[in-house]
Amino acid sequence: MTALPPPSKTKLGLVIDLDTCVGCQACATSCKEWNTGGYSAPLSDIDPYGADPHGAWLNRVHSFEVGAGDTSRTLHFPRSCLHCETPACVTVCPTGASYKRAEDGIVLVDPDLCIGCKLCSWACAYGAREYDYADGIMKKCTLCVDRIYNEHIPEEDRIPACVRACPTGARHFGDLGDPRSDVSKLVADRGGVDLLPDMGFKPVNKYLPPRAKRDATNSIPSAATEAVASTGAALEKLFAFADKMFTR
Amino acid sequence: MHPAYSVIFFTTLSGAGYGLLICLATLYSLGAIPPAPLLGLLSLGSAFALISIGLLASTLHLGRPSRAWRAFSQWRTSWLSREGVLSIASFIPAGFLAIGWIWLGTYSTIFVCMAVATVGLSLATVYCTGMIYQSLPTIRAWHQPLVTPIYVVLAIATGSLLALFILRTFFIEIPPLSILTIAALLLGAALKRTYWRIVANAPRTFTAGQAIGLASIGDVRPLDPPHGQANFVMREMGFVVGRKHAEKLRGLILGAGFLAPAVLLAVALVTIPIVATFLTGLAIVSCAIGIFTERWLFFAEAQHVVTLYYGAKSA
């Protein structure tokens, strides 16, 4: 059913820290590795060794330059499904393949129902859905639904592959519907934001803005660049005398 | 947006087919057309053929055409599903109309009711086609209130042009139909012009800063792309070629699609029947070129909001 379920209490999602993301692509490759063998299998690559290699990935890491002057910076920006609360990609689906889970809010594509009409990708503002040209159906982030509830893997691995792989701890997974959860507290502390909020899709995933950059012109403590004052010892007086003589 | 030929052919051909069906059923229900079997076979047959070719073309757009039937299930939320349901539903009264007209060769209340239902369901189908596009807030040029009316008017204009041609090959002259077709073509031209002006002036409210959640951070410039070759998102939604020639193509659309056919039909009104038929045929060729271009440009010109992640400043 493409009609949206009533808002769930549990809203599983990601919190991505743009301050600490270094753009290493570990989340993207880890995502591809897990999902090409998991729920979304296969994530086909087209012409992988040819002139125009491309394929379905569920997570993409952009690098931007933002701002200008002394406060400009490089920003690495991982982009994947935001598991919106009111996702248009679900309601436009003609077959019921796209759906939002009532129990935890995860947005999924049922690979047995999808006809590959691509309308959901038009409806998504975030480019989160990628059509698999070989499989003929739409692929998207599953929030690793086949890991997070999987009792056959060690407990520390029951988080999305991208979160598990991130070497800088820039990705956090949890219940954003629970204000007492670690991710909710993180969002509150760091002023987490929605992407394109005016689109009205109410993304569950949040992004933490980079911390304010130090101004290079006044951020170095002045004491660090000043000469150490003389202690007044006899030997220093001798050196001062020598300095005076040689300067003459 | 990538202008997929399957979708261009689907929307134009089935649009013309439904327009033709609307015209024929209206003429039948008004008793303005003789229920002659051969005329019914050729005219209704043309409409069914155009709609069917269009629907088949649309399945070529699908990754899994064999599952197309599943698209009839989600009419509660999806305009695409509604379009699918109505496109098939309109065949039911249209089929009865065909029985009454072609097989029985009669004109009676029950078949007039079927004709009226055919008109209603055909209009609703084309309305749904327009709403598939108009309902997407992610594409500024499509999320405009004129999109659906244009789909409906163009379907009626192209359909009545075809009806006019078929009737003239049978040497049946219905002057009001000629006038209405000319009016529909001119209305189409006026609506397209207004639409282009509205789209050009519609504010681009989404910025690259909003796309990465940092509207106040200042200018956002792409540094490293997330993939070496274009991915699906860029192939499907990053199409920009059309914008380069948009002005010239708009001229072609207005001239070939609307004005030339309108002039040809006006001249046909005052010529002998055989010349009128020839001019109407010419008008169809000209109109087809214009309408295919119109539909191509409708896709090619439209900018998707996801381009903000790929260097667009606003969308």
Q: A204 and A83 in contact (C-beta within 8 Å)?
A: yes
Is the pLDDT confidence value at A221 over 70?
no
How far is B295 from chain A, CA to nearest CA, in Å? 17
A228 falls within a domain: no
- Give residue A1's pLDDT: 60
Sole residue written with tokens 């189409």: B188
Sole residue written with tokens 């060690």: A154
Of the pLDDT bands very low, low, confident and very high (cuts 50, 70, 90), residue A219 is low
Domain span at residue A180 reads 12-208
**3-state SS, residue B304:** strand
Identify the weakest region by mean pLDDT among A98-102, A230-234, B209-213.
A230-234
- Give residue B158's pLDDT: 98
Q: A190 and A210 in contact (C-beta within 8 Å)?
A: no
Is the pLDDT confidence value at B78 over 90?
yes
Of the pLDDT bands very low, low, confident and very high (cuts 50, 70, 90), residue B53 is very high
Q: Which residue has the higher pLDDT, B67 or A219?
A: B67
Q: What would the pLDDT profile of B1-50 be if each residue is shown by its tens digit?
A: 999 999 999 999 999 999 999 999 999 999 999 889 999 999 999 999 99
Of the pLDDT bands very low, low, confident and very high (cuts 50, 70, 90), residue A235 is confident
A84 falls within a domain: yes
A147 falls within a domain: yes
Tell me the mean pLDDT in the region A131-139.
97
- Give residue A244's pLDDT: 87
CB contact B221 to A (< 8 Å): yes
Separation of alpha carbons B92 and B294, rounded Å: 31
Please give the mean pLDDT across all residues of chain B: 95
Of the pLDDT bands very low, low, confident and very high (cuts 50, 70, 90), residue A217 is low
Contacts of residue B132 in chain A, CB cutoff 8 Å?
Answer: 92, 119
CB contact B6 to A (< 8 Å): no
B209 falls within a domain: yes
Give the CATH number for residue A17: 3.30.70.20
B219 falls within a domain: no
- Complete DSSP assignment for B167-236: HHHTT---HHHHHHHHHHHHHHHHHHHHHHHHHHHS----BHHHHTT-TTS--EEEEE-SSSS--HHHHH
Q: Which residue type sits at B3?
A: P
How far is B232 from chain A, CA to nearest CA, in Å? 6
CA distances from B206 to A137, B51, B135, B137, B149 (A): 29, 38, 17, 11, 26
DSSP assignment, residue B138?
Answer: T
> β-strands A45-46, A206-208: how paired?
unpaired
Q: B185 and B294 in contact (C-beta within 8 Å)?
A: no
A232 falls within a domain: no
Number of domains in chain A: 1
CB contact B30 to A (< 8 Å): no
Tell me the mean pLDDT in the region B157-169.
97
Please give the residue of chain A at the shortest CA–CA distance from B302: A122
How far is A141 from chain B, CA to nearest CA, in Å? 15
Of the pLDDT bands very low, low, confident and very high (cuts 50, 70, 90), residue B177 is very high
Q: A80 and A58 in contact (C-beta within 8 Å)?
A: yes
Give the CATH number for residue B83: 1.20.1630.10
Is the pLDDT confidence value at B80 over 70?
yes
As a whole number of Å, the CA-based R_g of chain A is 26
Domain span at residue B189 reads 5-214+228-310
Q: What would the pLDDT profile of B254-288 be if each residue is shown by its tens digit?
A: 999 999 999 999 999 999 999 999 999 999 999 99
- For CA atoms B50, B53, B56, B58, give the dihedral sign: negative
A217 falls within a domain: no
Task: Tell which B residues from 144 to 183 touch A, by Cβ distance under 8 Å.
Answer: none
- Give residue B92's pLDDT: 97
B222 falls within a domain: no
Burial of residue A186 (number of CB atoms within 10 Å: 0-12, 13-18, 19+): middle
Separation of alpha carbons A76 and A69, rounded Å: 19
Whether the bond into A94 is cis, omega within 30 of 0: no
A25 falls within a domain: yes
Q: Where are the alpha helices (DSSP H) in chain B?
A: 5-9, 15-29, 37-60, 79-89, 91-98, 109-134, 147-169, 175-201, 208-211, 232-237, 241-244, 246-252, 260-268, 273-300
Tell me the mean pLDDT in the region B210-224.
90
Contacts of residue A62 in chain B, CB cutoff 8 Å?
Answer: 222, 224-226, 309
Separation of alpha carbons A14 and A37, rounded Å: 22
How far is B58 from chain A, CA to nearest CA, in Å? 9
- Give residue A231's pLDDT: 76
- Give residue A223's pLDDT: 66
User: Which of B64, B77, B138 lies closest to A115 in CB terms?
Assistant: B64
A207, B306: Cβ pair inside 8 Å? no
**ipTM of this model?**
0.94
Contacts of residue A53 in chain B, CB cutoff 8 Å?
Answer: 228-229
Q: What would the pLDDT profile of A138-167 be if each residue is shown by its tens digit?
A: 999 999 999 999 999 999 999 999 999 999
Contacts of residue B71 in chain A, CB cutoff 8 Å?
Answer: 94-95, 115, 117
- Give residue B243's pLDDT: 73
Please give the residue of chain B at the shortest CA–CA distance from A139: B232
CA dihedral B266, B272, B274, B280 (to 10 degrees): 0
CB contact B232 to A (< 8 Å): yes
How far is A109 from chain B, CA to nearest CA, in Å? 14
Please give the residue of chain B at the shortest CA–CA distance from A117: B62
B226, A198: Cβ pair inside 8 Å? no
Of B201, B302, B192, nearest to B250 by C-alpha is B192
Contacts of residue B233 in chain A, CB cutoff 8 Å?
Answer: 121, 127, 130
Q: What percent of chain A has pLDDT over 70?
A: 95
Separation of alpha carbons B200 and B222, rounded Å: 25
As a whole number of Å, the CA-based R_g of chain B is 22
Q: What percent of chain B has pLDDT over 70?
A: 99
- Give residue A248's pLDDT: 78
Please give the residue of chain B at the shortest CA–CA distance from A96: B74
Q: What would the pLDDT profile of B227-252 be if each residue is shown by its tens digit?
A: 999 999 999 998 776 677 899 999 99
Number of domains in chain B: 1
- Give residue B275's pLDDT: 95
Separation of alpha carbons A15 and A10, rounded Å: 15
Is the pLDDT confidence value at A216 over 70?
no
B202 falls within a domain: yes
Separation of alpha carbons A38 and A58, rounded Å: 12
- Give residue B217's pLDDT: 79
Q: What would the pLDDT profile of A163-209 be if each residue is shown by its tens digit?
A: 999 999 999 999 999 999 999 999 999 999 999 999 999 999 999 99
- Give residue B242's pLDDT: 66
A54, B227: Cβ pair inside 8 Å? yes
Interchain CB contacts (distance < 8 Å): A and B: 197
- Give residue B239's pLDDT: 78
How far is B299 from chain A, CA to nearest CA, in Å? 12
Q: What is the 3-state secondary structure (H, E, C) of chain A?
A: CCCCCCCCCCCEEEEEECCCCCCCCHHHHHHHHHHCCCCCCCCCEECCCCCCCEECCCEEEEEEEECCHHHCEEEEEEEECCCCCCCHHHHCCCCCCEEECCCCCCEEECCCCCCCCCHHHHHCCCCCCEEECCCCEEECCCCCHHHHCCCCCCHHHCCCHHHHHCCCCCEEEEECCCCCCHHHHHHHHHCCECCCHHHCCCCCCEEECCCCCCCCCCCCCHHHHCCCCCCCCHHHHHHHHHHHHHHC
Separation of alpha carbons A21 and A48, rounded Å: 28
Is the pLDDT confidence value at A136 over 70?
yes
Contacts of residue A90 in chain B, CB cutoff 8 Å?
Answer: 77
Q: Which residue has the higher pLDDT, B218 or A246?
A: A246
Which of B55, B77, B87, B314 to mutate to probe the A interface, most A CBs <10 Å? B77
- CA B200 from chain center: how many Å? 21
How far is B112 from chain A, CA to nearest CA, in Å? 33
Is the pLDDT confidence value at B62 over 90?
yes
Separation of alpha carbons B20 and B54, rounded Å: 14
User: Which of A23, A91, A133 lies closest to B78 in CB terms?
Assistant: A91
Contacts of residue A3 in chain B, CB cutoff 8 Å?
Answer: 76-77
Separation of alpha carbons B283 and B287, rounded Å: 6
**3-state SS, residue B22:** helix
Which one of A102-106, A223-227, B56-60, B242-246 scores highest in mean pLDDT? Answer: A102-106
Contacts of residue A28 in chain B, CB cutoff 8 Å?
Answer: 226
- Give residue A218's pLDDT: 61
Of the pLDDT bands very low, low, confident and very high (cuts 50, 70, 90), residue A232 is confident
Which of B216, B233, B298 to mutate to probe the A interface, most A CBs <10 Å? B233
Contacts of residue B298 in chain A, CB cutoff 8 Å?
Answer: none
DSSP assignment, residue B313?
Answer: S
Tell me the mean pLDDT in the region A38-47.
94
Task: Tell which B residues from 63 to 92 touch A, by Cβ distance under 8 Å.
Answer: 63-65, 67-68, 70-74, 76-81, 84
A94, B76: Cβ pair inside 8 Å? no
